[in-house]
Structure 1
Amino acid sequence: MDLPRIFTIRESSHRIHNPLTPAKFAALGQALHLAPGTRVLDLASGSGEMLCTWARDLGFTGTGVDISTAFTAQARARAVELGVDDRVEFVHGDASGHVADEPVDLAACVGATWIGDGVAGTAELLGRSLRPGGPDVDR
């Protein structure tokens, strides 16, 4: 199981595989007002930029899941580069059916709603991994 080779070649040098920028990822993470230690599940995590930078800048922990072996390897390398490999892990797998083993505080899928056949299906999939009661908000 992997992405088509053409996609991997085309995006192999990208840190972000969706229409966001590093500044927008940072703004999104800050706007969540979540406490350090927040557990995140990032489905279709690509090269792991969002999860790695949130771990570094906001103290989040979590797991990224992506179908691309190349992007999963890049995400693991990025975690080492940013010094957060003890707080995040990246799993090669099909995000379209992934549910966290233990509930998380925040479940995300940015730029890949195809994993749930659209926004509604992706939101339902993400909801299966959320901790009842929601995260602790840091305000």
Structure 2
Amino acid sequence: MDMWKYFGITHTDHTVMNPMSLAKTRELIDLLHLPDGARVLDVGCGKAEFLCLVAERYKVTGMGLDLSAITFKEARKNVAARELTDRIELLNMDGGKYEPDQEESLDMASCIGASWVYQGHQRTLKALSKMVKPGGLVLVGEPFWKIAPDPEYLRLTEQEADAYEPHPNNVQIGVDLGLTFLYSVVSSDDDWDRYEGLQWQAAERYATAHPDDPDVEVLLRTMRKNRDAYLRWGRDCLGWAMYLFRKP
């Protein structure tokens, strides 16, 4: 089954496509203090909800990049419905291949839950920091280990133990790169339960509505495997946070 199709189906009901509540996301946006006319970039923008919220809060222009044609279509609808097409540009592309017209030209660059674009947390921070002006903001969303993961959890979810770091390490990685750490917000169990639970419901609903889709068997098998891994281990061992840094 195509990865983007699976992701699109399971995230049908998500507004923000990560384990963070909309309320916490808005609170974080209030702390950005972006100046009028600021230029912002969101790599792996999903449905562009974060960009829309930023543009509704501040007088900024933004660009969103996403590789999935499915979520890109939803992003375009979202931006149009919010009447933000004059301030938000969307590109359906691999964010890792994007280069701004000039280095150090953005007021904020973000990559929220898509560090795979740059092959990891550290490389994501490096890539984004090159794009922002001195004094500009770098915002990332990244998983972290709350406790050491069970080997069976790693096997079922096809992950490696070194894929993520503990929460303090995610901060220190940015500090070691010369960034100034400003703030972080951490997902709660409720945030995670909603993020995961919406995927289960969406997959089951899709399977019922599309019984002749040849991908339904793989969809349900994959979703239920991930669901069981979350309920047994993931809820206790895997965290998620958004980290805000400033470039000196």
TM-score (norm 1): 0.86
The answer as to 2:138 corresponding to 1:134 is no
Task: Please identify which structure carries the higher strand content.
Answer: 2
The residue that corresponds to 1:98 in the other structure is 98
Q: Which residue of 1 aligns with 2:60?
A: 60
* Contact kept? 2:47, 2:74, Cα under 8 Å: yes
Task: Letter of the 1:68 partner, please give it.
Answer: S
Q: Is 94-103 or 19-28 further displaced after alignment?
A: 94-103
Match of 2:113 in 1: 111
**Which secondary structure state, in structure 2, belongs to the residue aligned with residue 63 of structure 1?**
strand
Residue by residue, what CA displacement relative to the aligned partner does 1:25-63 show, whole Å, maximum 9, x if unpaired? 211111111113211000000000000111012222110
Q: How does 1:1-139 map to 2 (within 5 A)?
A: 3-102=3-102, 103-131=105-133, 133-135=134-136
CA distance in 1, matches of 2:63, 2:3: 19
Q: Give the CA deviation at 1:3.
A: 4.8
For 2:82 and 2:3, locate their aligned partners in 1 and report how far apart those are by CA, in whole Å: 26
What's the CA shift string for 1:92-121, capped at 9, x where partnerless? 001123222342110001112121211110
Report the 3-state secondary structure (helix = DSSP H, G, I; strand = E; otherwise coil) of the residue aligned with 2:109. Answer: strand
User: Structure 1 CA distance, aligned partners of 2:10 and 2:93?
Assistant: 20
Partner letter of residue 69 of structure 1?
Answer: A
Q: Which has the larger radius of gyration?
A: 2
Distance of aligned partners of 1:3 and 1:130 in 2 relative to their CA distance in 1, 3 Å threshold: farther
Cα deviation per residue 1:64-89 (whole Å; 9 max; x = unaligned)? 00011111111111111112111001
Q: What secondary structure does 2:112 align onto?
A: coil
Pick the structure with more helix per residue. 2
Report the residue type matching 1:90 in the other structure.
Answer: L
Secondary structure at 1:109's aligned position in 2? strand
Check conservation: 2:41, 2:108, Cα contact below 8 A.
yes
- Opposite residue 129 of structure 2, the aligned amino acid is G
Distance in 2 (alpha carbons) for counterparts of 1:60 and 1:33: 11
CA distance in 2, matches of 1:76, 1:69: 11
SS of structure 2 residue aligned to 1:105: strand
Secondary structure class of the residue paired with 2:14: coil
Aligned residues: 134
Structure 2: distance between partners of 1:23 and 1:13: 17
Structure 2 unaligned residues grouped into runs of 5+: 138-248
Q: Contact 1:39–1:104 (CA<8 Å) still a contact in 2? A: yes
- Percent of paired sites with the same residue: 33
Two-structure CA RMSD over aligned residues (Å): 1.9
Contact 2:40–2:107 (CA under 8 A) maintained in structure 1: yes
Greater RCO structure (CA 8 Å; 6+ sep): 1
TM-score (norm 2): 0.50
